[in-house]
Amino acid sequence: NAGVTQTPKFQVLKTGQSMTLQCAQDMNHNSMYWYRQDPGMGLRLIYYSASEGTTDKGEVPNGYNVSRLNKREFSLRLESAAPSQTSVYFCASSEARAGLRGVLTFGAGSRLTVL
Partner 1 sequence: AQTVTQSQPEMSVQEAETVTLSCTYDTSENNYYLFWYKQPPSRQMILVIRQEAYKQQNATENRFSVNFQKAAKSFSLKISDSQLGDTAMYFCAFMKHGGSQGNLIFGKGTKLSVKP
91 closest CA partner among 1, 7, 12, 2 = 7
Q: Does 92 bind partner 1 (CB under 8 A)?
A: yes
Among residues 10, 15, 56, 83, which is the contact residue for partner 1, using CB under 8 A? 56
Contact string 6-45 vs partner 1 (x = CB under 8 A): -------------------------xxx------xxxxxx
Choice between 19 and 43, CB closer to partner 1: 43
DSSP state of 101: T
Q: How many CB atoms lie within 10 A of CB 79?
A: 12
Proportion of the chain in helix, strand, coil states, percent, rounded to 5: 5, 50, 50
Q: Does 60 bind partner 1 (CB under 8 A)?
A: no
Q: Are strands 64-68 and 110-114 parallel, antiparallel or unpaired?
A: unpaired
Q: Are strands 74-78 and 105-106 parallel, antiparallel or unpaired?
A: unpaired
Choice between 17 and 43, CB closer to partner 1: 43
Choice between 9 and 77, CB closer to partner 1: 9
Contact set with partner 1 (CB under 8 A): 31-33, 40-45, 48, 50, 56, 58-59, 88, 90, 92, 94, 96, 101-104, 106-109
